[in-house]
Amino acid sequence: MKYSKIFEATNIGKLKLKNRTSMAPMGPVGYSDTNGGFTQRLQDYYVERAKYDVGLIITGVCSVDTNIEGFPNIAIPCPTTNPLAFVHSTYSMNDRIHAYGCKIFLQLTGGLGRSALPGFIKTNLAPSEQGNRFDPKLIHREMTVTEIQNMIQKFVMSAVVAKKSGFDGVEIHAVHEGYLLDQFAISIYNKRTDEYGGSLENRLRIATDIVKGIKKACGEDFPVSLRYSLKSCMKALRQGGLPGEDYAEAGRDIEEGIEAAKILVNAGYDALNVDAGTYDSWYWNHPPMYFENGVYNSFGEILKKHVDVPIILAGRMDDAKMANEVIGTCCDIVSYGRPLLADAEYVTKIRYNREDEIRPCLGCHDGCMGRIANGPVSCAVNPACGREEIYGIKPALIKKHVLVVGGGPAGLETARSCAISGHKVTLCEKTDALGGNLIPGGVPPFKHYDHALIEYYARQLKLLGVEVKLNTDMTSEVASKFGADIIVVATGSTAKTLTFNGDIKPIPAEDILMKRAEVGENVVLVGAGLVGCETALWLTQLGKKVNILEITPHILGGHGALPHMNQFMLEDLIAFHKIGIHTQATIQNTSGKTVTIKKGDKTIDLPCDTLITSIGYNEYNKLFEELSTGDIPVHNVGDSNKVHNIMYAIWDAYELARNI
């Protein structure tokens, strides 16, 4: 077997697992019914992963009592809201999961504390009085001892309900990510002077009392794992520390993390599910594409030397060779989060040598954590994630010949989905390669999964028998010769251009990424959206000196335009690499090797060998307009319909294709 270590049997306590793979816990926000139970969509979501060789599923976080902070009723499941209803909604799900030899733990949380998004909860609590993570003016009051002790009992009660529901164990969401209970554990947040503050033992008292209570109520053999962040990775409140950056740890450092782990294991925890970070360094807990694979390997390796319980480890482990190699040194169980959102069959595919069929996670967060305020967790590249039974592709009743024009993400997804439905599909691409804007977008090493997505689609189209015609420039006359029943236009977009006063000719970012133009040592880049900032980061990593100009007051579209973890990390990387940022700035003139900009009342001269523009894209819909007057039904999808991101190109294509 290629990855033999991954597929060895193992144990957590006395619970046997068929292999060393785990589905990482990811918040099921929006998947709770009105009784606090699992909706059918959530049940199907977990069963779908159990079907494909996952050894252990750890559910997304469930509240032990939504009244503690006043969670919305349908925010996340809660075993204590209506215990009988919770049992009824999960017992049959667990039977289905067990049919595949998979085990499942229910993850339990006490709440958000200062990490709550403003307005999400009704009662703002924290270990000590302090400002909210996102809005310091929003004050969280100190929890009372009575409230704390009631919360501990709700953890125990929730574990009892979980056991009755057929869960094989529970995971406590306690010393992790800067949520409420982790705030008790970290001195920068906890200024209490009672039994829940001060010494490390006191700050961990809630977490240790919880596991002791659960073991007493459910039995010593009922497994209890702990979601555990070894290190906080924060320089200060609301300021993360980057990988490789030299800084003084403001939260829990590694030394204290080791000591805390020993205390927690001695209290009775059977496994540590390890990561790093807090909401103040949120990108550590939800690693964007800017991290390399194996984010937490070094932390797991440290803990393996100090505790004798299994280490579960996630952190961009979607390199099976690496994951197989670190078992035994960095971890005992490999945990997959977003890879299982992107492809529920991930574990099966690595087990049976089908790695070239894996649909990759891009690290974009657009479909998962980036949308939980507006909708349930899903996936940018897998539109059926979280709605497996109600939104899958069904066989078409009438088989048609579908002509897809354009080989970018929208065209590729249209072709794939139509072929799965049973249609005959021909895809025509005017260039010599599939991928569209994914090709330049995937040039920076930190975006290599964009290219992996192209490879996935190319493999799928081959397996599905889609006829792919490259170097085919489509016109309405050419299209009519294919004899198609339906035409789907996915011709993408073109980069917007600008001209400036002076003699320096601007170059579109795409031409730089595709190496169609040379880059000098001093770069001025106009446009601080995502493409512009990522291009600037890439060029800086190549040794160039870069200044970014942005006409608006904010880079990256301002607060909330990107998922927070991606935004925070990219902003920190820009600062770390000393990339110049000039907002509310315009170019007055270019001359020789100088760009003169106007910023408020000031004019500034910037050295410039290369002037790059990245100011957005225009829909390229000329072919759609031509074909719309014909006799064949025609649809427009992707950027040629409306310029957006990869997720919406794929989601819109999937929605269209499954209904053709």
| Residues recognised as catalytic | 179
Residue 454 DSSP SS3 = helix
Nearest to 274, CA basis, from 225, 208, 230: 230
Asked whether 314 and 296 are in contact (CB, 8 A), the reply is yes
Residue 355 DSSP SS3 = helix
Asked whether 176 and 182 are in contact (CB, 8 A), the reply is yes
Degrees to nearest 5, angle at CA 68 with 193 and 197: 15
Degrees to nearest 5, angle at CA 25 with 23 and 30: 120
H or E stretch covering 105: strand 103-109
User: Which residues are bridge partners to 239 per DSSP?
Assistant: 236
> How many other C-beta atoms lie within 10 A of the C-beta of residue 138?
15
Q: Mention every residue, 6+ apart, whose C-beta is less than 8 A from residue 609.
A: 519, 520, 521, 522, 523, 593
How many whole angstroms separate alpha carbon 219 and alpha carbon 119? 39
How many whole angstroms separate alpha carbon 181 and alpha carbon 574? 32
Asked whether 284 and 259 are in contact (CB, 8 A), the reply is no
How many whole angstroms separate alpha carbon 184 and alpha carbon 113? 10
Nearest to 201, CA basis, from 266, 148, 142: 266
Nearest to 180, CA basis, from 137, 148, 215: 148
How many whole angstroms separate alpha carbon 261 and alpha carbon 269? 9
Residue 113 DSSP SS3 = helix
Asked whether 352 and 41 are in contact (CB, 8 A), the reply is no
Token digits of residue 270: 């059977």
Nearest to 342, CA basis, from 363, 324, 312, 356: 363
Report helix, strand and coil shares of the chain as percent, to nearest 5: 35, 20, 45
3-state secondary structure 534-576: HHHHHHHHCCCEEEEEECCCCCCCCCCCCCHHHHHHHHHHHHH
Asked whether 39 and 32 are in contact (CB, 8 A), the reply is yes
Asked whether 22 and 336 are in contact (CB, 8 A), the reply is yes
Asked whether 241 and 235 are in contact (CB, 8 A), the reply is yes
